[in-house]
Amino acid sequence: MIRTFIAVELDPVFIEKIRDIQEKFEDFDLKFVKPEIVHITLKFLGDVEESSIPSLASALDSLLCEPFEAKIEGIGVFPKPANPKVLWIGASGAFGALHDEVEKVLKPFNFEKDDREFTAHATLARVKFLKKSQKGAFLDALRDLKDITLGSMRVNKVLLKKSTLTPEGPLYETLHTAYLD
């Protein structure tokens, strides 16, 4: 079994900007995602049989979604500012339609459908622990960056990724690239 997910990678031009954002939060107890691997997850598949990868790849090749322009902008937290667990950068564009199309082509595989409404975002860090005395400063940093814009990028492919968890953080490997047209 291999741990897998479907994602859109961010344009490498955003790596330094992501690093700059993360530096604004380095005084807090966060586990940062390496800027080089920050991505937008369209669907987490979990553990799948290695033998099913060709079928998953073929399903992704049948996606009916045209390439689109996306803006990487805005910063926020899940689930809510009063209790932050995940720090993220937002993404706008046709991600909702792309997510729905991914759900549609994967329906025959009986993966669990996402319960929550899809919100296009890229995780920058997970909040390990936030002292009460730090919450105000954390929310101030969040507020200062809420309107940040990293820039635009063209979304023209979706990646089937393998995730290997290590003590140093996850290692990702692209198993298949499905091009949008």
Per annotation, catalytic residue among 19, 34, 39, 126: 39
Domains of the chain by start residue, with CATH: 2-179 (3.90.1140.10)
Distance in angstroms (rounded) separating the CA atoms of residues 153 and 12: 10
Distance in angstroms (rounded) separating the CA atoms of residues 75 and 87: 7
CB 169 within 8 A of CB 38: no
Query: Confidence band (pLDDT; 50, 70, 90) for 115?
Result: confident
Predicted pLDDT at 114: 76
Q: Which of 25-29, 94-98, 111-115, 172-176 has the lowest mean pLDDT?
A: 111-115
Q: Is 99 part of the annotated catalytic residue set? A: no
Angle between helices 53-61 and 95-106 in degrees, nearest 10: 130
* Furthest CA-CA distance within the chain: 51
Pairing of strands 2-9, 68-80: unpaired
- Sign for the pseudo-dihedral over CA of 141, 146, 149, 152: positive
Q: Is 90 exposed, middle or buried (0-12, 13-18, 19+ CB in 10 A)?
A: buried
Phi, psi of 141 (to 5 degrees): -60, -40
Between 104 and 82, residue with greater pLDDT: 104
pLDDT, tens digit, for every residue of 64-97?
Answer: 999 999 999 999 999 998 899 999 999 999 999 9
Terminal-residue alpha carbon distance, the chain: 31
Distance in angstroms (rounded) separating the CA atoms of residues 27 and 150: 22
Predicted pLDDT at 122: 97
What percent of the chain is modeled with pLDDT above 90?
88
pLDDT, tens digit, for every residue of 125-167?
Answer: 999 888 889 999 999 999 999 899 999 999 999 999 999 998 8
Predicted pLDDT at 181: 86
Predicted pLDDT at 126: 95
Predicted pLDDT at 82: 86
pTM: 0.94
- Residue whose tokens read 């380095």: 26
Instruction: Round the average pLDDT of the chain to a whole number and report it.
Output: 95
Q: Is 140 helix (H, G, I), strand (E, B) or coil?
A: helix
Distance in angstroms (rounded) separating the CA atoms of residues 159 and 173: 10
Per annotation, catalytic residue among 121, 161, 162, 176: 121
Q: Is the pLDDT of residue 117 over 90?
A: no
Concatenating the DSSP letter of every residue in 7-35 gives: EEEPPGGGHHHHHHHHHTTTTSEEEEPPG
Please report how many Cα atoms fall inside a 13 Å half-sphere around the Cα of residue 44, on the Cβ side. 8
Q: Is the pLDDT of residue 113 over 90?
A: no
